[in-house]
Chains A and B, each alone.
Chain A
Amino acid sequence: MTKTITDVICPFCGTLCDDIEVVVSDDGKQLLEVYNACVIGSEKFLHSQAKDRVTKPRMRQDDGTWKDVSYDEAADYTAQMLAKAKKPLMYGWSSTNCEAQSVGNEIAEISRACCDNTAAVCHGTTLIAVQDIGLPTCTLGEVKNRADRIIFWGCNPAHAHPRHMSRYSIFPRGFFTGKGQMSRKMIVIDPRVTDTAKMADVHLQIEQGKDYELLNALRVAFKGEWLPDVVAGIPKEKIREAADMMKSGRFGIIFFGMGVTQSLSKNHNIDIAIAVTKDLNEYTKFSIMPMRGHYNVTGSGEVFAWQFGFPYSIDLTRGFARYNPGDTSSIDLLVRGEVDAMFTIGSDPGAHFPISAVKPIANMPSVCIDPHLTPTSGVSKLHVPVAFNGVETGGNCYRMDNVPIDCRKVVEPPAGMLTDEQFLVMVRDRLKKLKGAA
C-alpha cells in the first residue's frame, strides 16, 4: 500500500507552490510519485531517492581522493576552521530553512565572519534599491485576485518559475479577475524572444543594457514630456502606448528578474523601476515584486535582517554588523583575496560565481554543506551531505512576496543522515567551546 500526502510545499523556487501531492511507501521511507509540481519541482522531490546519493561526510585527502568521515569529525573540522580564520565567509543559506539560518547566524557571530546569501548574485541589487527608495509591493494573492496589468521585466517565468503564471499572475480566475487571462494585459520587456515574451500582448524588445533608459523614458512619458525618437531601440510612440496601457489598468504589477538585477546598472534599474511604480500610483494602483529564485532566499534575507539588521552581505569581523555590497559582498571578498576560509551551505557558488571567485575557494580551508554533488562540493575540502529541506525535513521558509510558509517533511532521510540544523548545532556547540563563548 502507499500513502498520498496532500498540500505539500515545493522547495524549489520562490513561488513555493503549496498544492503538491506526494505518494510515499507505507513505511514512509520511499518517495514514489509527485503530482501537480512542475518538472523542476518533481525532480527536486525525486532526486532525494537517487541511489547514488552521498550519505556520509567526506574529507578530501592530499592525493585528491575522498575519505568518508563521521559527522563528529566533520563538525570538528568546521568548528576549528571557523575558529582559526581571521575572516571566514559563510555563504549560501537560500536552500535551507529559517531555523538552520538562525543557528548559522549564531555561528557567524561567534566566529565574527562575513555572511552572505545567494542574493549576492541574484536579487541583492533589489535589496539595495529597496533600501534606497522603498518598495510598494503586495502579495501574490492580491495579484491573482486583482491584477489586470502584468509586466514581466527581464524575467522568464515560463522556464524559471514554471507555475507562477498559472497559479498567480496570468491564468487564474480571481475575485475581480473572473475571466482569467482574458481580463489581463501582459507586457514583457526582454531583449530576447523568450517563451514568456511569445505569450505577451506587448513585447518591448529592448536593446541589452538599456533598461535604465527605457524606464526613465516611461517616467517621462507618464508626465507627457519631450522624448527622443528612439529609446533603447524602441520608438517613442510604442513607449507612450505602453505607458498608457499601464496607466489605464485597475491594478498593475511589475515582476522583474535577473535580466535587470544583474545587467548593466544593477540596483539603479530596480531603483528606477520602483520609481515608475510610485509614479503609476498617481493614476492607478501599481505594485512591484522581485521574482526570487531559491525557495527560501527571501527567508534568508528576513532572518539576516531580523538578527543583524541587513538582508545580505554582512561583515561581522569587527564585532558589529556592517553592510556595503562592493566591500562586504561574497564575490568581491573572494576575488580581492579578503577572506581566508569558506563555508558554503544550501547553494552552489562553484556553478554561479565567476571562475576568478571560485579558484580561491580551492586554495583555502573550505566546507560545503549540501545534499547534492555540486561544483562547490567538488572544490571544497570537506563535503557534508544532509537531509533535503522541504522533503526530508520541514521548517519555515518565505515565498517571494515575503509570506512565511511552513514546509512539510514527507519522507524519512537515509538512516543516520542529519539535517542542516542538527549539523549546525553540532558546529555551534564546538565553536562555543573553542572560543570560550558563553
Chain B
Amino acid sequence: METVTITMKNPPALYLEADNVTPDVFAGKTAAQIAELHVHEGNTTSTLGKYFEVSGNAGATVADTKIVVKGDVKKVKYLGMKMSAGEMVIEGSADQYVGAWMTGGKLLAKGNVEAFAATAMRGGELIVEGNAGNYLGAAYRGDWRGMSSGKILVKGNAGSDIGMYMTGGEIVVNGNVDVHVMTHAEGGKTVIKGNTKSKLGGQLVDGTIIVFGNIETMMPGYKPNGEVELEVDGVKALFSHYIGDMGERHKKKKGAIVYGNLYKKI
C-alpha cells in the first residue's frame, strides 16, 4: 500500500471544500498530479497544492492507496467523501461531511468530526476517536435513505439526529448522545454505551437501539416487553426490552407485525 501525506500549510480564510481528497480520486496519481486537484473556497476554485503540501505518490489502485491528512483541517469539509476502498487517516479534527456517502474502505479520524459525518454511508468503516457532531450516519437532507451498511465507531460523544432514516449497518457510540436516535429508521442497529437524553426511536419502523446508560425521557410509543439477556460487544447483561414505535406503521412478516426494539441495560 502506497501512502500520500497531505499537510495543511496555508489554512483557508473561510472554509475549504475538499471532496477530491479520497483514495478514489488520488489512486494512480503522483504527488504533483494530486497537488493540481481542485478544491473550493466559497465561490473560488483553486488547487489542493495551494493549501496543502503533498508528499508521496498514490498506489495504482484505490485499494492500494492510503491518505494521511496532517495539520489543522478544522475548516475542511468533505474529507473522504464517497470513498470506496483504501485507507484514510485524519490526524486532527475535521469539519462536516467526513466520509459522507462512503461505500467502502477504512477512515480513521483521530480528533473530532463535525456534523453530517458518514451521511448515507453504504459500506466500509468509520472510526472517530474524538466526538462526532449531529446527523452521524443520517440521510442527506430530504432523502429517506440514511446509512444502509458499514460500521461507525465513535469513541467520544455524538450529537443529535444520529442514524436518522437508517436502513442498515451499525453505529456504536462509547460516550453520550444528544436527542433523536434513529428517527424514521427502517433497519440497522445503534449501540450507545453512555447516557441518552430523549426521543429515541421516534417514528421508527424497524431497527434496534441498545442503551447502556440512562434514558432521560422515554418515548411514549415504546411498550415494555419484559427483560432479556443480551451479549453486546462481548458484554453479557440483562436488558429491559421495549417494542415500538407503536404509533408508526410497521411491516409484517409471516402475518406478524415486526416492531422496532429498544433495549436498556438494567
Give which listed residue, B13, B135, B203, B217, contacts A272 with CB less than 8 A. Answer: B203
Q: Are the C-beta atoms of A219 and B247 separated by less than 8 Å?
A: yes
Query: Mostly helix, strand, loop or mixed at chain B's interface?
Result: loop
Mask: chain A, 109-140; 1 = CB below 8 Å from B; 0 = not: 00111000000000000001001100000000
B147–chain A nearest beta-carbon distance, Å = 16
Q: Are the C-beta atoms of B221 and A86 separated by less than 8 Å?
A: no
With an 8 A cutoff between CB atoms, is A265 at the interface? yes
Which 8 residue pairs of A and B lie closest in terms of their CB atoms, listed nearest first?
A219-B247, A86-B42, A87-B42, A112-B43, A217-B220, A225-B246, A317-B43, A131-B142
Interface residues of A in 215-233 (CB under 8 A from B): 216-220, 222-223, 225-228, 231
How many B residues touch the partner, as a band?
A: 35 or more
CB contact under 8 A between A216 and B247, given known A231-B220, A327-B116, A340-B14? yes
B136–chain A nearest beta-carbon distance, Å = 12
Residues of chain B at the chain A interface (Cβ within 8 Å): 13-15, 17, 40-44, 77, 96-97, 115-116, 134-135, 140-142, 144, 179-180, 183-184, 198-199, 202-203, 217-221, 223, 245-248
Q: Are the C-beta atoms of A128 and B141 separated by less than 8 Å?
A: yes
CB contact under 8 A between A327 and B115, given known A112-B43, A213-B198? yes
Q: Are the C-beta atoms of B246 and A87 separated by less than 8 Å?
A: no
In angstroms, Cα B13 to Cα A223, docked, is: 55
With an 8 A cutoff between CB atoms, is A338 at the interface? yes
Q: Are the C-beta atoms of B15 and A338 separated by less than 8 Å?
A: yes
With an 8 A cutoff between CB atoms, is A321 at the interface? no
Q: Are the C-beta atoms of B14 and A337 separated by less than 8 Å?
A: yes
In angstroms, Cα B223 to Cα A227, docked, is: 8
Give which listed residue, B77, B134, B219, B223, contacts A216 with CB less than 8 A. Answer: B219
B167–chain A nearest beta-carbon distance, Å = 15
Q: Are the C-beta atoms of B199 and A338 separated by less than 8 Å?
A: no
With an 8 A cutoff between CB atoms, is A91 at the interface? no
Name the A residues within 8 Å of B198 (CB-CB).
Answer: 210, 212-213
17 A-B pairs within 8 Å (CB atoms) are namely A86-B43, A210-B217, A216-B221, A219-B221, A227-B220, A265-B180, A265-B199, A268-B202, A272-B202, A275-B248, A318-B43, A319-B43, A323-B141, A324-B140, A325-B141, A336-B15, A340-B13
Residue of B with least CB distance to A326? B115
Residues of chain A at the chain B interface (Cβ within 8 Å): 85-87, 111-113, 128, 131-132, 210, 212-213, 216-220, 222-223, 225-228, 231, 264-265, 268, 271-272, 275, 279, 316-319, 323-327, 336-340
Give which listed residue, A128, A228, A265, A336, contacts B220 with CB less than 8 A. Answer: A228
Q: Are the C-beta atoms of B218 and A219 separated by less than 8 Å?
A: no
In angstroms, Cα B249 to Cα A225, docked, is: 13
B50–chain A nearest beta-carbon distance, Å = 14
**Further pairs besides A128-B142, A265-B180, A339-B14: 20, Cβ < 8 Å:** A86-B13, A86-B14, A86-B41, A132-B144, A212-B202, A213-B219, A216-B219, A219-B248, A220-B247, A223-B246, A225-B221, A226-B223, A228-B220, A231-B220, A316-B43, A326-B134, A327-B96, A327-B115, A327-B116, A337-B14
Q: Are the C-beta atoms of A216 and B43 separated by less than 8 Å?
A: no
Name the A residues within 8 Å of B77 (CB-CB).
Answer: 327
Residue of A with least CB distance to B17? A318
Residue of A with least CB distance to B221? A216
CB contact under 8 A between A220 and B14, given known A317-B42, A326-B115? no
Name the A residues within 8 Å of B180 (CB-CB).
Answer: 265, 268
Name the B residues within 8 Å of A339 (CB-CB).
Answer: 14
Q: Are the C-beta atoms of B217 and A271 separated by less than 8 Å?
A: no
A339–chain B nearest beta-carbon distance, Å = 7
Name the A residues within 8 Å of B220 (CB-CB).
Answer: 213, 216-217, 220, 227-228, 231
In angstroms, Cα B144 to Cα A325, docked, is: 16
Name the B residues within 8 Å of A212 (CB-CB).
Answer: 198-199, 202
Q: Are the C-beta atoms of A217 and B43 separated by less than 8 Å?
A: no
Name the B residues within 8 Å of A210 (CB-CB).
Answer: 198, 217
In angstroms, Cα B202 to Cα A199, docked, is: 32
A241–chain B nearest beta-carbon distance, Å = 16
Q: Are the C-beta atoms of A216 and B14 separated by less than 8 Å?
A: no
In angstroms, Cα B112 to Cα A89, docked, is: 27
Name the B residues within 8 Å of A132 (CB-CB).
Answer: 142, 144, 184
Q: Are the C-beta atoms of B199 and A268 separated by less than 8 Å?
A: yes
A206–chain B nearest beta-carbon distance, Å = 13
In angstroms, Cα B135 to Cα A102, docked, is: 33
In angstroms, Cα B223 to Cα A323, docked, is: 37
Give which listed residue, A264, A272, A327, A340, contacts B42 with CB less than 8 A. Answer: A340
In angstroms, Cα B16 to Cα A338, docked, is: 10
Give which listed residue, A220, A317, A326, A336, contacts B221 with CB less than 8 A. Answer: A220
In angstroms, Cα B41 to Cα A210, docked, is: 40
In angstroms, Cα B77 to Cα A225, docked, is: 45
CB contact under 8 A between A326 and B135, given known A216-B219, A340-B14? yes
Q: Are the C-beta atoms of B14 and A338 separated by less than 8 Å?
A: yes
In angstroms, Cα B26 to Cα A166, docked, is: 65
In angstroms, Cα B40 to Cα A316, docked, is: 12
A327–chain B nearest beta-carbon distance, Å = 6
Residue of B with least CB distance to A230? B220
Q: Are the C-beta atoms of B42 and A217 separated by less than 8 Å?
A: no
A27–chain B nearest beta-carbon distance, Å = 48
Name the B residues within 8 Å of A85 (CB-CB).
Answer: 42
